[in-house]
Amino acid sequence: MEYDDGQLTEEKVFKDPVHRYIHVRDELIWKLIGTREFQRLRRIRQLGTTYVTFHGAEHTRFNHSLGVYEIMRRMVENLEKKMTWEEEERLVCLSAALLHDVGHGPFSHSFEKVFETDHEEWTRRIILGDTEINRVLLTMGDAFPKKVADVIAKTYDNKLIVSLISSQIDADRMDYLLRDAFYTGVSYGQFDMERLLRVMRPGEDQAVFKHSGMHAVEDYILSRYQMYWQVYFHPVTRSAEVILSKILNRAKALLADGYAFRLDPYHFRSLFQSTMTLEEYIRLDESIIMYYFQEWIQEKDAILRDLCGRFIDRHLFKYVECDPSEQLKIWPELKRLYNEIGLDPDYYLVIDSSSDLPYDFYRPGEKDERMPINLLMPDGSLRELSQESDIVEAISGKKRTDHKLYFPYDLLADQREYKEEKQRILELLHQQGG
Amino acid sequence: MEYDDGQLTEEKVFKDPVHRYIHVRDELIWKLIGTREFQRLRRIRQLGTTYVTFHGAEHTRFNHSLGVYEIMRRMVENLEKKMTWEEEERLVCLSAALLHDVGHGPFSHSFEKVFETDHEEWTRRIILGDTEINRVLLTMGDAFPKKVADVIAKTYDNKLIVSLISSQIDADRMDYLLRDAFYTGVSYGQFDMERLLRVMRPGEDQAVFKHSGMHAVEDYILSRYQMYWQVYFHPVTRSAEVILSKILNRAKALLADGYAFRLDPYHFRSLFQSTMTLEEYIRLDESIIMYYFQEWIQEKDAILRDLCGRFIDRHLFKYVECDPSEQLKIWPELKRLYNEIGLDPDYYLVIDSSSDLPYDFYRPGEKDERMPINLLMPDGSLRELSQESDIVEAISGKKRTDHKLYFPYDLLADQREYKEEKQRILELLHQQGG
Amino acid sequence: MEYDDGQLTEEKVFKDPVHRYIHVRDELIWKLIGTREFQRLRRIRQLGTTYVTFHGAEHTRFNHSLGVYEIMRRMVENLEKKMTWEEEERLVCLSAALLHDVGHGPFSHSFEKVFETDHEEWTRRIILGDTEINRVLLTMGDAFPKKVADVIAKTYDNKLIVSLISSQIDADRMDYLLRDAFYTGVSYGQFDMERLLRVMRPGEDQAVFKHSGMHAVEDYILSRYQMYWQVYFHPVTRSAEVILSKILNRAKALLADGYAFRLDPYHFRSLFQSTMTLEEYIRLDESIIMYYFQEWIQEKDAILRDLCGRFIDRHLFKYVECDPSEQLKIWPELKRLYNEIGLDPDYYLVIDSSSDLPYDFYRPGEKDERMPINLLMPDGSLRELSQESDIVEAISGKKRTDHKLYFPYDLLADQREYKEEKQRILELLHQQGG
Amino acid sequence: MEYDDGQLTEEKVFKDPVHRYIHVRDELIWKLIGTREFQRLRRIRQLGTTYVTFHGAEHTRFNHSLGVYEIMRRMVENLEKKMTWEEEERLVCLSAALLHDVGHGPFSHSFEKVFETDHEEWTRRIILGDTEINRVLLTMGDAFPKKVADVIAKTYDNKLIVSLISSQIDADRMDYLLRDAFYTGVSYGQFDMERLLRVMRPGEDQAVFKHSGMHAVEDYILSRYQMYWQVYFHPVTRSAEVILSKILNRAKALLADGYAFRLDPYHFRSLFQSTMTLEEYIRLDESIIMYYFQEWIQEKDAILRDLCGRFIDRHLFKYVECDPSEQLKIWPELKRLYNEIGLDPDYYLVIDSSSDLPYDFYRPGEKDERMPINLLMPDGSLRELSQESDIVEAISGKKRTDHKLYFPYDLLADQREYKEEKQRILELLHQQGG
C-alpha cells in the first residue's frame, strides 16, 4: 500500500504481510514499480496451480517481486557496513532483485514446456527492449539496463551481486520460502531471516555466512527441503498442472491441424508459431488464459472441452505412485485398453516426475548454479556448509525423485459401458501403485 | 488443501492460513465445495480492487466462504453444548454459511451499481435453480434448498440461525475481519475469536454474549471500525473502483449507441439488457472482465481505451477531500473548463462517498439488520452492548461519511496545451480539497 | 541472548521474543547492562502478582528494560533522519530508556504503599550514588549521570527527549503493552509500532505524529485501554496484591510491637525504620520476599501465618463489586460480626479501588504528565488527538473507577462454627455486590 | 487465567500464550491445579539457568505442566474418536500429564547431580505420600494415585498411555519445544502440532502416526534437534550452570568441614545429609536458593563468596572448545599454575560436556525409552520412521557430543600480579580451544 503519491522526498512504503513493510527510498525503484510491465505481474500467480491444493496461495509475482526487492534492500544495508562500493552497484542490485521475474508468463512452468519459451529470455527482452522499464532504467545511464540484465543472467562481473540474487541462499529463495509458507498456511518454511542477514558477509565471489550463524543456515536448507515436498511438489497441484499442459498441447495440435475454433485463439497463434512480439507477450496474463479455457468448454473438440472443464471446475485426475521402469511392462496393455474404450492415452494417461536436490556443493560438469554455501570460520577461513553440518551433509547431493501416473478416475469408475476394460485398467493402475 | 481424496469416512481438512485448518465432516459440505458454482468463487476476489492498494489482498471469495463455514462449524459445536436442535438445523446452518456469498459476481460492488443486479438474488437462484449446488442440497430432502436460501435471505423461521450468519456480530464478519487483516498485513482486525465463541449463548431470536466476554466484543467492534477506515474505504482502492465503474458505464453507453466493438462483448450484452441467464451468470468471473479490459485498450473509443489502460496499468485518479455542499459552487465552472479542454466530466470528474455505521442498536424505520448485540448478565437478564461499554456507546449510531472528488491529475498536470484552463482546474480542485 | 562476549567491535544482539532482536552498538549500553544493579532487575517481575491470574506473565523488569531501550534506539534512528543533535543526546536518551525502571523494588506497587518508598527516588540514587551504573555513566563525563537522571525525572531541558520516555505515548508504554500482551497471551495490546515510529516527528517540546498515522495512534490508545481493564486491573491479581499488602502491614505492626520473629526479618527492619541504605536496597529482590513469606508460614502469629500461606499457595480472597458510598451502611455491622467470629477486619475485609484515565489532553492544576498527543497536519499545524479522533474523544478525560471488596470466602463458608454470623456476613456481602 | 472461580458446572479456562487456552472440564484436574504442591511449580523455572542467555525464558514448570496437560487433553480427544476405553483411563492420562514434573526441585539439573536426589522419585513420593495431591487423587478411588504414579514411572500396564507421556514424541516434548521456543524467541521449535495430533492413531503399545503425516513428524524431530543445540546446550547457559554446581559443591564441602556459616543453611543441611522429609522438599524452591546465594555473597569463605557473586551478578566463566583426550596433556601444567596463583582448579577449571541423540530406533541393552516412532502405512502395516525419512535416517543414532572448558577469564586477564603465570594459562587454554 502506498500511503502517499507524491514526490519521493519521503520514503514510500508498501504494507506487506510477510516483511511488514517494504521500503522504497529510490525514485528509480518507485518508477520501476509503476511501469506497466511490472504491474502486469499482478496478473500472474506466484505458485501457478498450487491454489487448487492450498486455497490460500493466490498471491502473485508482483507480491513476491516486491519481497525480493525488500530482502535485497536489507542485505545491501547490512553488507554496506562491511564493505564499500559505488552507489550504482547498489541500484543495480535493487533493480535486478525487483525485476528478476519480470519475464514470467502465465502458468510459466507448463507454458515454457509446451511453447518452448524461456522466461529468462523474456526478462532480458523486457529489460533491454522497447518498454517502460527500459526507459526508466536508461535514466541511470546507457549502460545501466544491460548491467541489470546481466545480474539476472548471472553473467555480471561482480559475482558477489550475482550470488545475492541467484545462489543456493539468495534473496529470491528467502522470499519465496517465507511468502509461500505464509500464504499456504503451512508451518514449514520458517527460518530466521533477520539472523541470516546479520551473519552474512561479503566474500570474494559470493556472500558467505559467519560460522556462528550456521544453525540459521541449516534451518533455511531444511525449510526449503520441506517446502519442496510438502507444497511445491504436492500431487494434487501436479494433477492440475498435468491437465493444464494437456490443454495447451491439445490446442497446439488443433491449431496445427487447422481446426476451426469457435473463438479464434489469436493470443496463442503467435505463441505456437514462435512469432510472438514483445508487446504481445507483455499483454499475456493469466486472465487471458482463463478466458480461453472458459470459452473452450463450449468447443466441439471433446478432449479440449473435457480438459478445460476439468481445469475450471477442479475435476482433477487421480494418481498412483509409479516406478518408471516397472511401468514399461503395463504400458502396452494400458494403451490398448485406453484405445478400446475411446480414451486418448496421450491426454489421459500421464506420467509426471518431480525431483529435487535440496543442497549440493559440487556437481562436476554442471553450470555454476550449485556454488556451495560457505561458512566464514572464526580464523577467517572458509568451510563448505556440509562439512560442518551433519544434517546438511545428510541431504546434500541426494537427488530425490518422485514419479506419479495421472488418470481420470471418474471416467474409469463410471462403468456403465466398457465395464470389463475399465476394471482391468483400474486393476493395472492399482497394481502399479503398489 | 485436501489431504485425501476418497470416501468421507475420515474427516477432510483444508489448510487455511487464518483458521489453521478447516474441518469437513459432512459429506454434504464436501460435495457442495466440489460443485462448479462453488469452485467459481476461486475466480472472484474477496476485496475487489483493494489489491491495488494492499498487494497482499489477492484472496478470493472461495477462501472466505470456507472460513465462514469453519467459524459456523465451531459456533455450532459450542452452541450445541448449551441447547439441542434437530440434526437438520445444523446442516442448514453449515450450508448457509458456506454458500452465503455464492451469488457474488466479479467486482460485485461496481457491477451491481452499474448493471442493477443483486448478488443476493443470484445467490437465491443458484441455490434454488438448476445447478450442481441445488442437486447436492436436494439429497437432504426437497425442502432443504429453500431452507438454506431462507437463512441467507434472513427470512428463515429460526432467527437464532439467521443471527449467526447475518447480524452485527456473525460468522461472516468475523471471518472477513480476520482474513482481510491477514492478507493485507495490517495489525487492525485482530480480536479473540476463540473467546467470542466461548461466551456466545443461544438466545431466543439471536445469539447473545456472556457479560464476562464484553471486552472481547468491544475489541471486535473496534476492529471492524478500524478495518473500514483503514482498509475497506482506502481512497486509492476507491480510485480504482471509480475507474472500474466508469469503464462499465462507458461500455454500457457504447453498446446502447450501437458502437461497433472490435471484439464483441457478448458476455456483457445480456447483462446490459438484463436478460442474463443463470448459466451465463455462473460463467462470469473476474478473468473474463480483465480479458475485456485488456482487449478494450485497443478500442478506438478514446474514453474506453484510456480508462481500461488506467485500470490495467494502475494509472489511477488522484483525489481531494470534498464537501458536497461546497462543491456545488465550483461544479459549473469545473464542468465548463473540462468541456473546453475536451475531457468528459461524466467520466473524469467523480465524487465518491463512503460511510459507515460501526455499531447501532436502534434505528427506527429501518429493517432488522441492526438488531442490537445483547449481553447476558450474571442474573440472566439481557443488556444492550452500548449500555455497558463506554467505547461502544461512544461510536454507536454515529454515521461517519467521507466524500472525495477523483480526477486524472496526470492529464491536468501535462500543460503542454490548455495550460491556463488546466491550471484553473487544479486551482479549483485544490481549493475544494482545503 | 548474547552471541559473542568479546570486544564491541561488532554489534551485540539479544534475542527477544517481542522485538525479535535487541541491538546494542554502544559500549556504554553494553556495560550498563552488565552492572549488578541492572542485572538485579532479572529478579523483579514486571507485573508483580499478575502471574497468579495469567500464568504466562512471569517476565521481569530486565526483559522490559531491554525492550524500552530497543524501542528508543529505533525512535532515535528514525528521528535522526529528521533532525540533528549532539551525539551525547543520543546516549542520554538510550541510557535513560534502559535505566528508567532501575529503582523498582520487589512487588513495587504494594511495597511503596506500605513502606512509603518511591522507586523514582531510588532510581535517582542508583544513577547518582556509589554504584556500578554510576561509574559506567561517569565514563561519558562528570555531568552525564545527572543528565540521565534528569530525563527520567522529567526535569531535563530537552523536553522532546523527556517526552520519548514519559508521555502518553512513549517507549516505556509501547514496550509494556506489547510485552505484557505477549506474555499473558491476550490479543489486546497489539498495535503497529513500526508505523507509529515511522510517523513520529520531532516537535518543539515533544514528539508529534503525522496525521496520516492517526489510526495507528488510536489503535495504541485502545490497546492501552483494553490492557488496563483486562489485565492490569484484573480482580484476581488485585486479590493477590491485597493479601501481599496485608502481609507487609502485619509484619510492620508486629515489628513495631516488638514481636519476636522466629527468623529475624533484618531485610525489613531498615525498611520499616526508613534507614535502608542504597546497598541494602540493591540487594532486595523478590526471592528475598518470597523467602520470608515461606518462612513466616511457620510463625506463631496466626494472621501473618495465614496470609503468607494464602499468598504462597494461592488461596486468594474472593470479591464482590462494591459501591463505596453504599458500603458505609453495612460497614459497622460487618465489622461487628467479624470481631464476633474472631476475624480481624483490618486484614480480612479490604476495599480495593482501581481507576484509569486512558487518555487526556488537558487537566488544569495537574503536573505535566498529561501533555496531549498532537497530530502534525498536512499544513504543518498541530492538532490535539481527540479533536480528530471520534474514538479517542469518546474516552478522553473519562476516569473510570472500579471498587471491589475482598474477603476470605473459604473461612466464611466453613460454617462449622459461628454459622449464623457467617451466614449473615455472606448475606451482607452478597447484597453489596448486587 | 481463570475467568470464574465458582463451581465446575462450566468449563474453566486458563489463558496460555502457547496453546491460546487451556481447558479444564474435570473437577479432578481443577482441584489438582489448586494444590500447594502443584502451585509450588510456579516457583521453579522451566529452563533453569537459561534465562541468563535468553532473557525471555523466565517461564516456570507450572506453565509447562499446564501445557502438557492441555496437549494430552487434545490427544485423548482425538484418540477417543478411534478407540474406546474406560473413563478412568482418561483421567489417569490427564492427571499423569499434569503431574509428571511435580517432583522437580529448584535448578533440578545441578541439584540432582550434587545432592544425588532424583526428581522422579520425589514425584512418586508427592503423588503417593501425605500431600494435598494424594488426597485429591484418592477421591477417584484407592488405587488411583498408584496408577498415576505408574504412568509417570513408565511401569503402567497400558503402554499406549505411557507412550503419550514419555516416548520420543510425547505430550511433554511437544509442549516444551513449542513453549521454550516461544519464550526464548527463537524460530526453531516450530512444528505443526495440530497435524501431529490429527495423524496420531492408537497402536498396540504406543501411539503411531499415519504415513501421510510423516513430514510433520520429521519437522518435530528437526525442531528438537535445533532446540537442543541452539538453546538447551547453549554454552553461556552451561557456564551459569557450571557456577551453580560449584556453589552447591562448595557449600556441601564447607558443611562437611564444619565451617561456621553466617546464616545457618538449614534448608541444605538435610539435603546434604540425605534426611530431607517430603514436607521439607515441598517447601524448597528457587527463591530459597536465590536467597542463600545472595546471603553467601557476604560469607567469609572466598570461593563461596566469589561464586555466588558471579551467579547473582552474571559474571560468568568464559570457555574454550576442548578435546577431552588432548586436554589430558595440559591438565597437569594448568593445575600447577592455578595452584601457584592461588586459584582452586576444582572450582575454577571445569569441563562440561553435552551430548544428544536426536532420534534413535534401536539401542540394544538400554531401557525402553528409545522405542522407535512408527508410521502407519496405507496398508495397515507399521514402518519405523527412519526407514521412510531420509532426514531422520541421517541423524538417527548419531550421538553428538560437545566438550567445553570453563574458566574465569576476568581473573586471568587481570594481570597486575602473577602476570607470567596467568599469561601462560591463557596461552594453554587458547591452544586447547584450537
Out of B188, B192, B394, the one facing C219 most closely (by C-beta) is: B188
| Residue C139 CB-density burial (10 A; 0-12 exposed, 13-18 middle, 19+ buried) | exposed
Together in a domain, A248 and A228: no
Query: Which other chains touch chain C, taking contact as 3+ CB pairs less than 8 Å apart?
Result: A, B, D
Q: Which of D181, D44, D32 is nearest to D104 (CA)?
A: D44
Could you give the CA distance from residue A392 to residue B108 in angstroms, rounded to a whole number? 50
| CB contacts, 8 Å: A215 with chain D | 188, 226, 229-230
| CB contacts, 8 Å: C190 with chain B | 187, 190
| CB contacts, 8 Å: D54 with chain C | 1, 15
Chain mean pLDDT for chain C: 91
Could you give the CA distance from residue C279 to residue C130 in angstroms, rounded to a whole number? 9
Q: Which residue has the cell 513469606?
A: C293
Together in a domain, B300 and B203: no
- Least confident among A297-306, B123-132, D7-16: D7-16
Q: Which of C246, C161, C169, C268 is nearest to C206 (CA)?
A: C161
Kindly indicate the confidence band of residue C10, based on its pLDDT and cuts at 50, 70 and 90.
confident
Is D145 in a helix, a strand, or coil? Answer: helix
The stretches in chain D having pLDDT less than 50 are 1-7, 363-364, 368
Together in a domain, A88 and A181: yes
Mean per-residue pLDDT for B202-224? Answer: 93
Size of interface C-D (CB pairs under 8 A): 119
A187–D192 C-beta distance less than 8 A? yes
Tell me if B32 is assigned to some domain: yes
Q: Let me know: does C293 contact C247? Beta carbons within 8 Å.
A: yes
Report the greatest alpha carbon distance in chain B: 75
Could you give the CA distance from residue B279 to residue B258 in angstroms, rounded to a whole number? 26
Could you give the CA distance from residue C409 to residue C433 in angstroms, rounded to a whole number? 14
Kindly indicate the confidence band of residue C246, based on its pLDDT and cuts at 50, 70 and 90.
very high
Calculate how close chain A gets to D223, using CA atoms only, in Å.
9
Out of A56, A66, A288, the one facing B55 most closely (by C-beta) is: A66
- Supply the range of the domain harboring residue C249: 238-354+402-433
B19: nearest CA partner in chain A? A185
Q: Which residue has the cell 478514446?
A: B302
Could you give the CA distance from residue B198 to residue D209 in angstroms, rounded to a whole number? 31
Q: Above 50 in pLDDT, residue B6? A: no
CA distances (Å), origin B285, targets A92, B111, B295: 40, 11, 16
DSSP state of C53: T
Greater confidence, C141 or B366?
C141
- Least confident among A259-263, C35-39, C321-325, D410-414: C321-325
A13–C198 C-beta distance less than 8 A? yes
Q: Let me know: does B97 contact B69? Beta carbons within 8 Å.
A: yes
Q: Above 90 in pLDDT, residue C108? A: no
Together in a domain, A134 and A250: no
Greater confidence, A329 or A328?
A329
Together in a domain, C349 and C276: yes
Kindly indicate the confidence band of residue C153, based on its pLDDT and cuts at 50, 70 and 90.
very high
Identify the contact set of chain A against chain B, taking CB-CB distances under 8 A.
1-2, 5, 14-18, 20, 34, 36, 39, 42-43, 51, 53-56, 58-60, 62-63, 66, 182-186, 234, 236, 283, 285-288, 290-291, 294, 312-314, 318
- Least confident among A88-97, B158-167, C6-15, D380-389: C6-15
Q: Which of A3, A169, D32, B241 is nearest to C199 (CA)?
A: A3
D212–B3 C-beta distance less than 8 A? yes
Got the DSSP string for B141-202?
A: -TTHHHHHHHHHHT--S-HHHHHHHSSSS-HHHHHHHHHHHHHHT-STT---HHHHHHHEEE
Kindly indicate the confidence band of residue A361, based on its pLDDT and cuts at 50, 70 and 90.
low
Q: Encode pLDDT of A150-172 as tens digits.
A: 999 999 999 999 999 999 999 99
| Residue C148 CB-density burial (10 A; 0-12 exposed, 13-18 middle, 19+ buried) | buried
C187–B219 C-beta distance less than 8 A? yes
Q: Which of A22, A157, A172, A180 is nearest to A89 (CA)?
A: A157
Residue A16 one-letter amino acid:
D
Residue B4's pLDDT is what? 35
Identify the contact set of chain B against chain D, taking CB-CB distances under 8 A.
3-4, 13, 20-21, 194-195, 198, 212
Percent of chain B with pLDDT over 90: 75
Phi, psi of C265 (to 5 degrees): -85, 65
Strand ranges inside D122-268, DSSP E: 200-202, 207-210
Out of B190, B230, B398, the one facing C390 most closely (by C-beta) is: B398
Residue C241's pLDDT is what? 96
Choose one of A232, A259, A276: the last residue of a domain: A232
D15–C186 C-beta distance less than 8 A? yes
Query: Which other chains touch chain A, taking contact as 3+ CB pairs less than 8 Å apart?
Result: B, C, D
Could you give the CA distance from residue C375 to residue C381 in angstroms, rounded to a whole number? 8
Domain count, chain A: 2
Query: Which other chains touch chain B, taking contact as 3+ CB pairs less than 8 Å apart?
Result: A, C, D
Q: Return the C-alpha cell found at B122.
A: 443470484
| CB contacts, 8 Å: B229 with chain C | 215
Residue B431 one-letter amino acid:
Q
| CB contacts, 8 Å: B4 with chain D | 212
Calculate how close chain A gets to B56, using CA atoms only, in Å.
6
Together in a domain, A330 and A407: yes
Tell me if A383 is assigned to some domain: no
CATH number of the domain residue B219 falls in:
1.10.3210.10
Kindly indicate the confidence band of residue B7, based on its pLDDT and cuts at 50, 70 and 90.
very low
CATH number of the domain residue D254 falls in:
1.20.1250.30
Calculate how close chain B gets to C391, using CA atoms only, in Å.
7
Residue A329's pLDDT is what? 83
| CB contacts, 8 Å: D395 with chain A | 390-391, 394
Out of A4, A13, A194, the one facing C20 most closely (by C-beta) is: A194
Tell me if B111 is assigned to some domain: yes
Together in a domain, B47 and B98: yes
Greater confidence, C17 or C400?
C17
Is A16 in a helix, a strand, or coil? Answer: strand
D394: nearest CA partner in chain A? A394
| CB contacts, 8 Å: A43 with chain B | 290
Together in a domain, B59 and B167: yes
Is residue B100 within a helix (H) or strand (E), and if so which, with residue range? none
Out of C3, C20, C194, the one facing A21 most closely (by C-beta) is: C194
Choose one of A187, A206, A232: the last residue of a domain: A232
Choose one of B308, B325, B342: the last residue of a domain: B308
Q: Return the C-alpha cell found at C104.
A: 523498582
Q: Return the C-alpha cell found at B78.
A: 459450542
Mutate to test the interface with D, among B18, B77, B195 (most CBs of D within 10 A): B195
Tell me if B384 is assigned to some domain: no
B393–C393 C-beta distance less than 8 A? no
Kindly indicate the confidence band of residue C4, based on its pLDDT and cuts at 50, 70 and 90.
very low
Kindly indicate the confidence band of residue A324, based on its pLDDT and cuts at 50, 70 and 90.
confident
Residue D182 one-letter amino acid:
F
Tell me if C365 is assigned to some domain: no
Out of A215, A219, A391, the one facing D391 most closely (by C-beta) is: A391
Tell me if C392 is assigned to some domain: no
Kindly indicate the confidence band of residue B356, based on its pLDDT and cuts at 50, 70 and 90.
confident
D395: nearest CA partner in chain A? A391
Out of C14, C20, C313, the one facing D36 most closely (by C-beta) is: C313
Together in a domain, A310 and A329: yes
Tell me the pTM.
0.93
Size of interface A-D (CB pairs under 8 A): 48
Q: Encode pLDDT of A224-279 as tens digits.
A: 988 998 899 999 999 999 999 999 999 999 999 999 999 888 888 888 777 889 99
Is C407 in a helix, a strand, or coil? Answer: strand
Together in a domain, B155 and B225: yes
Is A55 in a helix, a strand, or coil? Answer: coil
| CB contacts, 8 Å: C36 with chain D | 312-313
Together in a domain, D79 and D226: yes
Tell me if B357 is assigned to some domain: no
Q: Which of B8, B17, B10, B14 is nearest to B38 (CA)?
A: B14
Which residues partner with A18 through β-bridges? none
| CB contacts, 8 Å: D226 with chain A | 215, 218-219
Out of C55, C56, C291, the one facing D287 most closely (by C-beta) is: C291
Mutate to test the interface with B, among D10, D14, D74, D198 (most CBs of B within 10 A): D198
Mean per-residue pLDDT for B121-147? Answer: 97
Q: Return the C-alpha cell found at D70.
A: 492441555
Identify the contact set of chain D against chain B, taking CB-CB distances under 8 A.
3-4, 13, 20-21, 194-195, 198, 212
Q: Which residue has the cell 473459604?
A: C410
Q: Encode pLDDT of B48-96 as tens digits.
A: 999 999 999 999 999 999 999 999 999 999 999 888 899 999 999 999 9
Out of B39, B236, B285, the one facing A2 most closely (by C-beta) is: B236
Q: Let me know: does D44 contact D286? Beta carbons within 8 Å.
A: yes
Mean per-residue pLDDT for B340-366? Answer: 81
Tell me if D393 is assigned to some domain: no
Out of C51, C185, C234, the one facing D16 most closely (by C-beta) is: C185
Is D81 in a helix, a strand, or coil? Answer: coil
Residue A4's pLDDT is what? 35
Q: Encode pLDDT of A17-40 as tens digits.
A: 999 999 999 999 999 999 999 999
Query: Which other chains touch chain D, taking contact as 3+ CB pairs less than 8 Å apart?
Result: A, B, C
| CB contacts, 8 Å: C395 with chain B | 390-391, 394
Sign of the alpha-carbon torsion through C102, C105, C106, C107: negative
Calculate how close chain C gets to A194, using CA atoms only, in Å.
9
Out of C55, C66, C184, the one facing D55 most closely (by C-beta) is: C66
B286–A294 C-beta distance less than 8 A? no
Calculate how close chain D gets to A30, using CA atoms only, in Å.
33
Together in a domain, C251 and C122: no
| CB contacts, 8 Å: D218 with chain A | 226
